[in-house]
Amino acid sequence: MKILIDVNNQLATINMVHDILHKRPERYTVDENIKELINSQLHLSPAEIFGQIELNNPNITQKQIHYWWTQMMKKYYERNHDQLISAHTLLIENNYNVIFMDLNSEIKYIAFTTPLFKQLINKNEILVDATCK
């Protein structure tokens, strides 16, 4: 850092050069043991998994955990690269009732009911609390 002060003109000039390289761990350099730990805990959030793994692996980042958690979760839920086709396939596999669907027009959509719908269909009144904060 270099600071020049010109008292006569009441001017300060600061020149700063940052030349220290920061090495960031690549997401693909995660150890296979860590991948196995992530895979065995997919029921947890990436933040919870990170909290457990970082204790013994101080160089691991949350982004690495999140990346591998996402990759592993895709194996369970992704059926197609097109998210709507994938969602439709998953809904059919799990016997959900698809009530409206258009995957071919400019505006694509899927509407479906869940088991909760069957519980609520005969109710006369449903209260929803939409309190914010």
Q: Is the pTM of this model over 0.75?
A: no
pLDDT tens across 14-48, in order? 888 877 765 554 555 688 999 999 999 999 999 99
Distances in whole angstroms, Cα of residue 106 to Cα of each of 81, 82, 98, 109: 18, 14, 19, 10
For residues 120 and 114, give the distance between their C-alpha atoms in angstroms, rounded to a whole number.
10
pLDDT bucket at 119, cuts 50 / 70 / 90: confident
Contact between 16 and 3 (Cβ < 8 Å): no
